[in-house]
Amino acid sequence: MKTYSETLYKDYRQVFDVTDVLYEDKTDHQHLVIFENPRFGRVLALDGVIQVTERDEFIYHEMLAHVPIVAHGKAKNVLIIGGGDGGTLREALRHPSVESAVMVEIDRTVVDLCTEHMPGVSAGAFDDARTELIIADGLKYVAETDRRFDVIMVDSTDPIGPGEVLFTETFYADCKRSLTDGGVLVTQNGVPFFQGDEVRNSHARLKPSFEDVGFYVAPVPTYIGGFMTLGWATDDASLRTLDADALGQRFNASGIETRYYTPAVHAGAFALPGYINRLF
C-alpha cells in the first residue's frame, strides 16, 4: 500500500501517501487500517473512511467535548458513545467538574489499536480513575441504562455500518431519557456540503424529543468538503445563546489550554452559513 484512497464518496476522492501500514484487518464490526502519512502523521480509517489523524484531531475533539460541557456549566457525569480513539474522552476529562466519564464503544479493537499505535490521541485517558469503558452497542446501552448524564457526546462514524443506528429517532429519544434536566446531547453530523441529508434527517429526528435543536460547525481538514456539523439538542435553549464573555468566565475557571477551542469560537460556531441553514 503506497497510497490510501478514501471511499466515502463515489465521485470524489482524497488520497494519502502511505509511508508505513501499522495495522490492517477486518475486526468483528468493520475494516480497520492505521497508516502513517508524512503530513498528517498516523491515520485511522474504518470501512474506507478517514476517522482521525494525529495532526488535526484536536479540532474535532475539542469542539465535540468543550462546547457542551462549557455551555452546560456544571457537568459532572458525561457519556460518550463511540469515540474509540479516546480523543473526546481526553478532552472531557480535562474539565475538573467532570467526576465520571462513561464511554460505550462497540469495537474493542479500535480502543486497543489506537491506544497502541496512536497513544497521543487518548493521552492516558483510559487509565484515568474517572473513566468507565464499556464495550457494548451504544444504541442498546442508552435504551437500557438507568443512569443519567449531564452531557452525552455521540462520537460516531457516519450513518453507514455500525454507526447507522446512532442516527435514528429512537436512539435520540433514548438519549433524551438518559439526560438530567437541562442536559445536552451533541452528535457528529458529517460535512453538509456533501452530506446534507445527515443534517436534514438528524434535525427532523431530534425535534420530537428536544425543545432546542441546532448545529454548530468546525473546519477539520481531513473531513473534506468544508465545515463539518455537530448536532446540538437540549431542553434549555439559553445554553445555545451564551455569549463569549459568559462562556469565557466558565472556560477560564477550568484552567484548560486548548489549540482550537476558545469561548469566541464556541459562540461563533452556532452562526451557520446559509447553505447549512437551508437544510432544515
Positions marked active-site: 155
First to last CA, the chain: 41
For residue 173, give the nearest of 133, 198, 143, 194 by alpha carbon: 143
SS3 103: strand
The residues, ordered by sequence, that sit 6+ positions from 59 with a Cβ below 8 Å of its Cβ are 218, 219, 220, 221, 259, 260
SS3 98: coil
For residue 275, give the nearest of 212, 225, 239, 222 by alpha carbon: 225
Q: What is the pairing mode between strands 100-105 and 131-135?
A: parallel
Q: In whole angstroms, what is the distance from residue 107 CA to residue 118 CA?
A: 16
Cell, residue 255: 484552567
